[in-house]
Amino acid sequence: MKSKAPRKEEGQAPFAYEGLDRVIHERARLSVLTSLVTHPKGLTFADLKQLCALTDGNLSRHLRVLERGKLVAIVKGHDRNRPLTVCHITASGRKRYLEYLETLEQVVRDAARAGAEKPGPEIVRELAPSRV
Amino acid sequence: MKSKAPRKEEGQAPFAYEGLDRVIHERARLSVLTSLVTHPKGLTFADLKQLCALTDGNLSRHLRVLERGKLVAIVKGHDRNRPLTVCHITASGRKRYLEYLETLEQVVRDAARAGAEKPGPEIVRELAPSRV
């Protein structure tokens, strides 16, 4: 099992974050994939539009990119004679999403370790003394 | 063709992640800003190139975007008669980065809550029972 995010030469370029797969990292696609990974039974086109606050055109465009990359499968069917499009994340899409997520967690850890978090009502962490 | 306007209320669009500021979210810029937020004394152009594994051209291009957005300040000086460029994150850059980070953490939490994390040697979390 490959659990390490594909970071190249971590020692030399610890902030390169090679694991931030560009197909997934784009904001709308990250929204769509996070919706789908949390809804393993799939979501309709209309559900996704609402959950991700995307227009028809934008959602279609990004779904095409995800489908071409085999991250998402789209099934066009009917429900009571009305067309119904249902989207699922594929097994390989889920795997790539989870690898992406590891790098995302790394970004959050790197920032937190440096005391970048602000002490506030929502997030209170141990802080290194700030020099700024 | 304009279809429906994207809806912004989080209750309706919990996966929209409006906080993923596009200026920061781009992978190279996220690398640069995370490097700078963890190095409050600033970093030279050469340091940044290495830490983020970027070419001269790419780093210059992204630094210009960050400088135009007032997230980063760039000081050109000299060190023993050789030109030396030092980059800092600005106070407003730090603030925007921290706001961005909160949304990033939300993405990680959303994915984790759905049991999207895999139990592995590196990351073991409490998991909701997976339906997949």
- Which pLDDT score is estimated for A11? 64
- Which pLDDT score is estimated for A3? 46
CA separation for the pair B26, B64 (Å, rounded): 14
The helix/strand/coil state of A112 is helix
Q: Comparing A124 with B46, which gets the higher pLDDT?
A: B46
Q: Is B15 on the interface with A (CB under 8 A)?
A: yes
- Which pLDDT score is estimated for A4? 47
Whether residue B119 is predicted with pLDDT greater than 70 in this model: the reply is no
Write down the ipTM of this complex: 0.78
Query: How distant is the Cα of A130 from the closest Cα of chain B, in angstroms?
Result: 8
- Which pLDDT score is estimated for A131? 39
- Which pLDDT score is estimated for A100? 97
Mean pLDDT across the stretch B57-86? 94
Question: A52 vs B120: CB contact, 8 Å cut-off?
Answer: no
Q: Which two tokens stand for residue A22?
A: 């560009």
Query: How distant is the Cα of B70 from the closest Cα of chain A, in angstroms?
Result: 16
Question: B52 vs A16: CB contact, 8 Å cut-off?
Answer: yes
Question: B35 vs A15: CB contact, 8 Å cut-off?
Answer: yes
Question: A101 vs B110: CB contact, 8 Å cut-off?
Answer: no
* CA torsion through residues A40, A31, A21, B100, sign: negative
Q: What predicted TM-score, i.e. pTM, was given to this entire model? A: 0.80
Q: Is A23 on the interface with B (CB under 8 A)?
A: no
Contact assessment for residue B59 and residue B32, using Cβ atoms and an 8 Å cutoff: yes
Question: Scanning the structure block, which residue is given the tokens 């991700």?
Answer: A52
Of A27, A104, A132, the CB nearest to B40: A132
- Which pLDDT score is estimated for B9? 47
- Angle ∠(A55,A61,A66) on CA atoms, nearest 5: 120
Contact assessment for residue A53 and residue A46, using Cβ atoms and an 8 Å cutoff: no
Closest residue, chain B, to A109 (C-alpha): B105
Lowest-pLDDT range, A24-28, A50-54, B51-55, B119-123? B119-123
Question: B52 vs A107: CB contact, 8 Å cut-off?
Answer: no
Q: Is B76 on the interface with A (CB under 8 A)?
A: no
Q: Is B41 on the interface with A (CB under 8 A)?
A: yes
Chain B residue numbers with beta carbons less than 8 Å from the beta carbon of A30 are 17, 20, 107
In 10 A of CB A84, how many CB atoms? 13
Mean pLDDT across the stretch B14-34? 97
In chain A (132 residues long), the average pLDDT of successive 10-residue segments reads 46 91 97 96 96 97 98 92 93 96 95 64 36 38
Q: Comparing B5 with B37, which gets the higher pLDDT?
A: B37
DSSP 8-state secondary structure symbol assigned to residue A122: S
